Amino acid sequence: MRKESISDESLLSRLRKDDQQALASLMDRYFEPLCAYGHVLLHDWAQVEELVADVFFSIWSKREELEIHTSLKSYLFVSVKNKALQQLRKESRMPFQDIDSAADDADSEPNGLERLILQELNQDIIDLVHTLPEKRRIIFELNRFESFTYKEIAELLQISEKTVVNQMSLAIKYLRQYARAGAHNSY
């Protein structure tokens, strides 16, 4: 992993002086990680890329009066989170549902009963994860689906690491209880 030669603070200072190269450097540094994070919430790459581009456009548009009281990295991730959550509320839809249907469409060869059972199980798991409270669901998805550490999640969501641990514990406990109940109720 290469070491970043110019600090975020230096790039932000240059950005405030209308340096377009500073914006390009920030985008090179953060565009992909921000998209990966936004994808946890929206699960639509095109929509996420547009959202992240909007965040950078907003920073450029407000560069002179921009006040950041945390690290620039945290500011960017929180901005993406807020825009993604606004988008979800606006669309009133649940994330993940489009991925499964796209995957089903891409795989046109049926595998019979096993495929059907796996699809139903996968959908059951997704539906169950969606029943978690929003904050707990986001924490769970970041950790289990995107491999973020508890510390990274705490920084991104601006909460304590203890809160992340507690929310993950509650999510796992809930999912285990469901799995046990489902095992007793099957056939």
Quote the CA–CA distance of 57 and 36 in Å, as a whole number: 18
| Cβ–Cβ under 8 Å, residues 130 and 96 | yes
**Token digits for 29?**
């540094």
Residue type, 75: Y
Pick from 112, 8, 14, 104: nearest CA to 63: 14
What pLDDT does 185 receive? 52
| Domain over 97-185 is classified CATH 3.80.10.10 | no
What pLDDT does 127 receive? 78
Architecture of domain 8-91: Orthogonal Bundle (1.10)
* pTM for this prediction: 0.51
Quote the CA–CA distance of 125 and 101 in Å, as a whole number: 15
C-beta atoms surrounding 127 within 10 Å: 12
> What digits encode the pLDDT tens for the residues 49-93?
999 999 999 899 898 888 888 788 888 988 898 888 888 877 754
Task: Identify the burial level of 28 via C-beta atoms within 10 angstroms of its C-beta, where 0-12 means exposed, 13-18 middle and 19 or more buried.
Answer: exposed
C-beta atoms surrounding 52 within 10 Å: 26
In this prediction, residue 163 has a pLDDT band, given cuts at 50, 70 and 90, of very high
Considering only residues 128 and 4, tell me which one the structure prediction assigns the higher pLDDT: 128
Domain residue extents for the chain: 8-91, 97-185
The DSSP result for 48-81, as a single string, is HHHHHHHHHHHHHHTTTT---SS-HHHHHHHHHH
Quote the CA–CA distance of 66 and 58 in Å, as a whole number: 10
Query: Above pLDDT 90, what percent of the chain?
Result: 18
